[in-house]
Amino acid sequence: MARIFVTHPLPGTAFLRLSEEHQVTVFSADRSPTKAEIIDHLQTAEVLVSLITDEITSEVIDAAPHLRIIANYAVGYNNIHVDWATRHKIPVLHTPHVLTDASADLAFALMLAVARRIVESDQWLRSGAWAGWKPQQMLGTHVTGKTLGIVGMGRIGIALARRARGFEMPILYTNPERLAPGLERELGARHTDLDELLAQSDFVSLHCPLTPHTRHLINAQRLQQMKQGAILINTARGPIIDEVALVAALQTGPLQGAGLDVFEQEPDVHPDLLASARVVVTPHTGSATTETRAEMTALLVDGIHAILQGRIPHNVVNPEVLRTQQEPDQDD
Ligand code: GLV
């Protein structure tokens, strides 16, 4: 039985399983713990289950004498100082695969919502302003057949490309590594550099992790490289876009619109983005389906059990810290 500190209750039955089998302390459903409160709980806890809103810094890790596992309820782990955890031989779990489809679905939904002015149309109709059908009413932009640029062709980027295939969209992509030629052919995707991708794409969707290299990757200069009338989608991490520069590119060109699920200073959103009818915003809901959130919980709970039993689950970010003593899970 391990002492587990969870910063927020998690959905799904696997969470009950965790509480039945371990000594679990849940911080609160109403607010996130402060750094001091996390450190306080980590005086005794052996396992930390964190959200992306919890900053697990080197200071927090240094102040946790018994910590054996960090389990982050997200696929992204930019909120955790993973190198520091590795130095302390602490494995970091995350939730890949199970949220791929939900996240790609949301990115595609935002593409359609911005291009076809779904939210604006809904609000206008509800306001009572609609006096009947007119040829020029609520004209949007065609989606089928347009070029989609995908920045970061990992699991979610590939899943988005599969959806775009159904819309006959040629795909350009950037990624540190090229996909296998067979997969490129299947997706109708061409590897290129960011300059060409921005210049050629009608839609640009971001799917790279947030790292020092990708912070403000989409800055004022890069926004100016985009095609006139292009639509930018971000379901990855807010700071990949310079939000002030984005506001300018929406006001003076070349951007026609943006679909944003993530923001630079969450939960705050730049007021000009909130005021713009050409921007569709969602509150960081990429993985927010009942099914996916339950699967994310199960993945972390299974991962915690595997490590506690001396196995190496597939969803460890830094498996090298376990490799010396343990063998990989056979069923992964
Ligand atoms: C959500 O943003 C995640 O990384 O899972």
Cα 73 to ligand 1 centre (Å): 8
Q: 116 — phi, psi (to 5°)? A: -105, 10
Domain ranges of the chain: 3-98+290-328, 100-281
Residue pLDDT, tens place only, 55-76: 999 999 999 999 999 999 999 9
- Alpha carbon separation from 104 to 112, 160, 193 (Å, rounded): 12, 5, 22
| Ligand 1 pocket: which of 287, 295, 297 to mutate (most atoms within 8 A of CB) | 287
Q: Identify the architecture of domain 3-98+290-328 in CATH.
A: 3-Layer(aba) Sandwich (3.40)
Instruction: State phi, psi for 228 to the nearest 5 degrees.
Output: -60, 125
Q: Looking at ligand 1, which residue's alpha carbon is closest to its atom 5?
A: 74
Question: Considering the chain, what percentage of its residues have pLDDT values greater than 70?
Answer: 97
Q: Does the Cβ of 287 fall within 6 Å of ligand 1?
A: yes
- Mean pLDDT of all residues in the chain? 97
What is the rounded CA–CA span in Å between residue 80 and residue 318?
12
CA of 287 to the centre of ligand 1 (A): 7
| Ligand 1 and 100: CB distance under 6 A | no
How many Å lie between the centroid of ligand 1 and the Cα of residue 155? 13
Closest residue (by CA) to atom 3 of ligand 1? Answer: 74
pLDDT band (50, 70, 90) for residue 332: very low
Structure confidence by residue, pLDDT tens digits, 139-173: 999 999 999 999 999 999 999 999 999 999 999 99
The per-residue pLDDT for range 264-322, each reduced to its tens digit, is 999 999 999 999 999 999 999 999 999 999 999 999 999 999 999 999 999 999 999 99
User: Do 100-281 and 3-98+290-328 fall under one CATH topology?
Assistant: yes
Pocket flag, ligand 1, residue 169 (CB < 6 Å): no
Stated pTM of the model:
0.96
For domain 100-281, give the fold.
Answer: Rossmann fold (3.40.50)
Name the residue at shortest CA distance from atom 1 of ligand 1: 74
Q: Could you list the active site residues?
A: 237, 266, 284
Q: Count other Cβ atoms within 10 Å, centred on residue 26.
A: 16
Q: Is the CB of 80 under 6 A from ligand 1?
A: no
H/E element holding 48?
A: strand 47-50
CA of 74 relative to ligand 1 center, distance in Å: 4
List the residue whose alpha carbon is closest to atom 4 of ligand 1: 76
Q: Which residues contact 231 (CB under 8 A, 6 or more apart)?
A: 111, 114, 115, 141, 202, 203, 204, 255, 256, 257, 258, 259
Predicted confidence (pLDDT) per residue in 202-261, tens digit: 999 999 999 999 999 999 999 999 999 999 999 999 999 999 999 999 999 999 999 999
**Ligand 1 and 315: CB distance under 6 A:** no
Task: Return contacts of 290-294, CB within 8 angstroms, 24+ apart.
Answer: 290/11, 291/102, 292/98, 292/99, 292/101, 292/102, 293/10, 293/11, 293/12, 294/11, 294/12, 294/13, 294/14
Q: Given this model, what pLDDT does residue 327 score? A: 55
> Tokens in use for 32?
């996130």
Q: Where are the alpha helices (DSSP H) in 127-266?
A: 155-165, 181-187, 194-200, 220-224, 243-252
Report the nearest atom of ligand 1 relative to the CA of 94: 5
Spatial separation of the C-alpha atoms in residues 2 and 22, rounded to whole Å: 5
Pocket-testing residue among 103, 211, 295, ligand 1, by greatest number of atoms within 8 A of Cβ: 103
List, as one string, the DSSP characters of 272-318: HHHH-TTEEE-SS-TT-SHHHHHHHHHHHHHHHHHHHTTEE-TTBS-
Distance CA 110, CA 107 (A): 5
Q: Which ligand 1 atom minimizes the distance to the CA of 74?
A: 5
